[in-house]
Structure 1
């Protein structure tokens, strides 16, 4: 837990810019979430291979808003699940490390459901929402980051369902499993590099669990994640 505290301190100290609910946020995601060699952004919870409809895997980066067929900003740590609600904390509410493009309707289907165990593609499961095999590692690493940066306001137990960790009762072991089972993607790395750099729309800090998912294993134990620093 000393490592947890040191990482939390680093994440907070380097969080230099709050993008807010402005054009900056749309611009940032249009850069960091771009599908290589296209004008489309990845849609979290999208089903691989699906090109159209609510479960599309990507969509034109300019086609965003609040209407059917568009993408909007998914709070992977649902705002209403914060203690208190993230709307009262502009940094947490607009933190790009947990905001992802998502289909408006599929995002609405998730609503404020907590993450729960499942398999295969994203969708409702008993008691909650499964983000999909493609996205579960992303979600786990985002939830761990939010816990680092916002402490008790963004508890893993507040957003995920399952047995809690022996080292830290605020952590849910399912997230450790997801972190180990779904390796860091190139898109996650691209996002992390951008926001850790000095760019017009960068936040300034990084998600350390994207830099090395094994940090989670070092802190909480559980199923060993890949050590990218070996």
Structure 2
């Protein structure tokens, strides 16, 4: 595969490709929106004449609950086999990318308290199927309605509270609603990576923001040829970029800052076993950058804060970081593994990257005033 800015590391290839059939992505050789179309042909339900052809299956709406029993089971937090609901699972994501798991306010067991048309007037009463892209955007058509790659199990009440709202970052200085695991509903903050939208939004907790982002990247790729007929505030009406700019920048930010987890890898494998297609952006996170790099806002790529890091992309063994205050710098790979820690001061502005392989990294800059994360590409 050709890449403009970076190639995937051996570690990532070994980890993410473990359950991907041999040759599954062999036809994904382009960049930009050409790559997006190539991925669509790999994961759709049409015979596109590929050497390695897997036709996606539409199992119907009722089959989602059956799929969830394998794809969305809590083997990661309480690890007790209950339903894993991104809107109720209580997880605090720590600055060092570790998690603190808190007792859930309630839990569901598959087959018990499944939505039967009653209750759902408060949290913890029923669970149902949440379309992260609302059904109204595609007129409840199939196979979209039945696609487990972007439909998730969720508490019925919180699902209804989110309704058709887009995802965003809630301005907590204004009136807003908060649910049991910290998910929020309220007015978008309309600044930073979410500048450009001022309506009400729903914000999942940090632990699942990247998960949500990759569901969206899957949807606009899988249904690329139908996107111009879909109507939703997060979409731009095109088949190419597909996601409207404020939301594209936000979803990319979520994708980078909440890397692919083992839970997502397992979920992808479980859905593949049922539907016969995969989410490419879980298997290979760099596909997101390869496709949308030319449309991401400069503010998102280089970050909004005054701290400067250059050259980026970097060809040598060090980059310069300019700041008005001392920084503790942590470098992570795209899977969230911490690689190195270094101190940056007014007298020592060089970050040593000599041990880094070619690829994309997250550089977390910690100061007494807070933290920011920048993306670093080493060529």
TM-score, normalized by length of structure 1? Answer: 0.81
Find the counterpart in structure 1 of residue 368 from structure 2: none
Q: Distance in 2 between matches of 1:189 and 1:157?
A: 30
Distance 1:40 1:47 in 2: 11
User: How big is the shift at 1:117?
Assistant: 2.3
Q: 1:178 to 1:30 in 2, by over 3 A?
A: same
1:218 aligned residue:
290
Alpha carbons 1:213, 1:227 under 8 Å: kept: no
Sort the Cα spacing of 1:47 and 1:152 in 2 relative to 1 into closer, same or farther, 3 A. same
Q: Map 1:173-212; keep pairs closer than 5 Å.
A: 173-197=249-273, 202-212=274-284
Aligned CA distance change for structure 1 residues 157 and 45 (closer, same or farther; 3 Å): farther
- Give the aligned partner of residue 21 of structure 1: 61
The yes-or-no answer on 1:93 pairing with 2:201 is no
Q: Deviation digits for residues 29-86 of structure 1, max 9, x if unmatched? A: 011111125230111222412523xxx4x4212222144312100001111133xx2x
Match of 2:154 in 1: 102
User: Conserved in 2, the CA contact under 8 Å of 1:115 and 1:159?
Assistant: no
**Residue in 2 aligned with 1:10?**
42
Give the Å deviation of 1:168.
Answer: 3.2
Aligned 8 A contact 2:207 2:258 in 1: yes
Deviates more, 1:28-37 or 1:116-125: 116-125
User: 1:132: Cα distance to partner?
Assistant: 2.0
Corresponding residue for residue 309 of structure 2: none
Q: 1:50 to 1:109 in 2, by over 3 A?
A: farther
Q: Kindly indicate whether the alpha-carbon contact (under 8 Å) linking 2:37 and 2:224 is maintained by their aligned counterparts in 1.
A: no
Q: Secondary structure at the match of 2:111?
A: coil
> Contact conserved, 1:20 with 1:94, CA < 8 A, in 2?
yes
Closer, same or farther: CA 16–81 of 1 in aligned 2, 3 Å = closer
Residue 129 (structure 2) aligns with? 73
Measure, in 1, the Cα distance between the counterparts of 2:231 and 2:256: 19
Per the alignment, residue 121 of structure 1 pairs with 182
Deviation (angstroms), 1:185: 1.9
Q: TM-score, normalised by structure 2?
A: 0.51
Q: Is the 8 A contact 1:8 1:148 kept in 2?
A: yes
- Between the aligned partners of 2:202 and 2:225, the Cα distance in structure 1 is 22
Residues 88 and 104 in structure 2, CA contact (< 8 A), matched pair in contact too: no
1:150 pairs with one of 223, 230, 234: 223
From 70, 73, 97, give the equivalent of 1:31.
70
Residues 58 and 147 in structure 2, CA contact (< 8 A), matched pair in contact too: yes
The runs of at least 4 consecutive aligned structure 1 residues that moved more than 6 Å come to: 227-230
CA distance in 2, matches of 1:91, 1:115: 23
Quote the Cα distance in structure 2 between the aligned partners of 1:205 and 1:102: 23
Structure 1 residue 157, shift from structure 2 partner: 8.6
Gaps of at least 5 residues in structure 1 are none
Q: 1:2 to 1:136 in 2, by over 3 A?
A: same
What do residues 126-166 of structure 1 show as CA deviations (whole Å, max 9, x unaligned)? 021112212211111001111011126457993538x9xxx
